[in-house]
């Protein structure tokens, strides 16, 4: 049984009370789970860095628009995920969560925001992302619309609609595409880079690190998810297979970077950090195998996964810019 020391926590409604504009903004901001924004912001940064090195039309204006659009799509997906998980009953029955990492924002369950208010917030964020997308369309042309539509559809259908992607075992692939392949290749293309094999491999490595955030966050929630019919990877295959997939993704990311180094697309030092991060990955995998029986180890594994994604992505962005700097 989980240790009482790490009993699940919830946000405190009193901390978000108030009728002022500032209170409303605070509620809306924290409802989006900003702790995870690195999962969308850093891939845009890495893709833009690749574009700056490969292209000849880098624009800070385009970069900011891409960043706003992508982060808003992620924020909307997070909020709508809370709505969807409340509807199917996984969040209300989740007693094994590790807040603030898993089990959603808990804003609906604690009464900070209603399900309807969360849905409206999600729609508002999609509108903001769409407006940024239209500005990008004016700058770069119709392919922007394709990137935007795919990203928004994946973000919404992850939790809502007739086929909830997260509930039918497609959540991990959805996240890898929506916050790996799309933002990295899209941001690079926006800055003038061709969408070629090297860029796609680069985006797969980064997308794998993002996917692992979802994968490990699903571990504490697997009991509630299973009871609600949400067929995540841990629910379907168990802790050992989840740990193996987690490690496979990290090893694959390191191998991709080694390959891109061998082909001359990244500098010689590029594999140093992805390979070094495997030490953290193996430690985190042990935490996955133990599940919520040891909440301290599980929490540390989640935090290590966030660190792997952030450090690895920032490092690869710097490596992509190596040719520009030197």
Angle between helices 233-262 and 278-290 (to 10 degrees): 170
If you search the block for the tokens 């509630």, which residue do you land on?
A: 224
Provide DSSP, 185-250.
Answer: HHHHHHTT----HHHHHHHHHHHHHHHHHHHHHTTTTHHHHHHTT---HHHHHHHHHHHHHHHHHH
pLDDT (tens digit per residue) in 162-173: 888 998 989 999
The 10s digit of each residue's pLDDT in 131-162 is: 999 999 999 999 999 999 999 999 999 999 88
Name the residue ranges covered by the structural domains of the chain. 4-8+27-325
Residue 269's CB is within 10 A of a number of other CB atoms, namely: 12
Confidence band of 4 (pLDDT split at 50, 70, 90): very low
CA 173, chain centre distance (Å): 11
Query: What's the mean pLDDT in 22-32?
Result: 96
Cα-trace Rg, the chain: 19
Residue 156: its H or E element: helix 143-157
Q: With 80 as the cut, is the pLDDT of residue 57 above it?
A: no
The count of residues in the chain is: 326
Convert the pLDDT of each residue in 267-297 to its tens digit: 999 999 999 999 999 999 999 999 999 999 9
For residue 152, what is the DSSP state? H
pLDDT, position 325: 66
Mean pLDDT value of segment 296-324: 94
- Residue 238, pLDDT above cutoff 50: yes
Separation CA 190–CA 300 (nearest Å): 37
Q: For tokens 């019919």, what's the residue?
A: 229
169 within 8 A of 234, measured Cβ to Cβ: no
Among 305, 103, 307, residue whose Cα is nearest residue 216:
305
Predicted local distance difference test score (pLDDT) of residue 323: 64
Q: Cis peptide leading into 100, omega within 30 of 0?
A: yes
């Amino acid at each position: 049984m989980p240790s009482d020391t790490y009993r699940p926590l919830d946000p405190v409604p009193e901390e978000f009370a108030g009728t002022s504009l500032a209170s409303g903004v605070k509620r809306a901001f924290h409802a989006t789970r900003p702790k995870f924004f690195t999962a969308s912001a850093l891939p845009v940064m890495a893709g833009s860095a690749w574009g700056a090195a490969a292209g000849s039309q880098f624009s800070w204006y385009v970069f900011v628009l891409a960043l706003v659009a992508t982060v808003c799509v992620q924020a909307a997906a997070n909020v709508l995920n809370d709505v969807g998980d409340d509807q199917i009953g996984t969040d209300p029955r989740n007693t094994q969560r590790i807040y603030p990492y898993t089990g959603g924002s808990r804003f609906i369950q604690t009464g900070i925001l209603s399900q309807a208010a969360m849905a409206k917030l999600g729609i508002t964020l999609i509108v903001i992302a769409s407006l940024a997308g239209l500005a990008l369309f004016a700058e770069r042309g119709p392919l922007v619309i394709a990137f935007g539509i795919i990203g928004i559809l994946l973000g919404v259908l992850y939790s809502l609609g007739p086929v909830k992607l997260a509930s039918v075992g497609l959540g991990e692939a959805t996240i890898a595409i929506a916050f790996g392949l799309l933002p990295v290749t899209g941001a690079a293309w926006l800055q003038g880079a061709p969408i070629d094999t090297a860029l796609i491999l680069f985006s797969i490595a980064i997308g794998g690190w993002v996917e692992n955030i979802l994968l490990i966050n699903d571990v504490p929630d697997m009991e509630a998810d299973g009871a609600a019919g949400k067929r995540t990877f841990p629910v379907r295959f168990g802790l050992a297979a989840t740990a193996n997939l987690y490690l496979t993704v990290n090893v694959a990311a390191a191998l991709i970077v080694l390959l891109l180094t061998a082909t001359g697309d990244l500098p010689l030092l590029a594999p140093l950090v992805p390979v070094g991060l495997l030490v953290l990955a193996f430690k985190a995998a042990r935490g996955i195998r133990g599940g919520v029986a040891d909440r301290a180890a599980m929490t540390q594994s989640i935090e290590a996964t966030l660190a792997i994604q952030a450090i690895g992505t920032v490092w690869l962005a710097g490596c992509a810019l190596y040719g520009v700097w030197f």
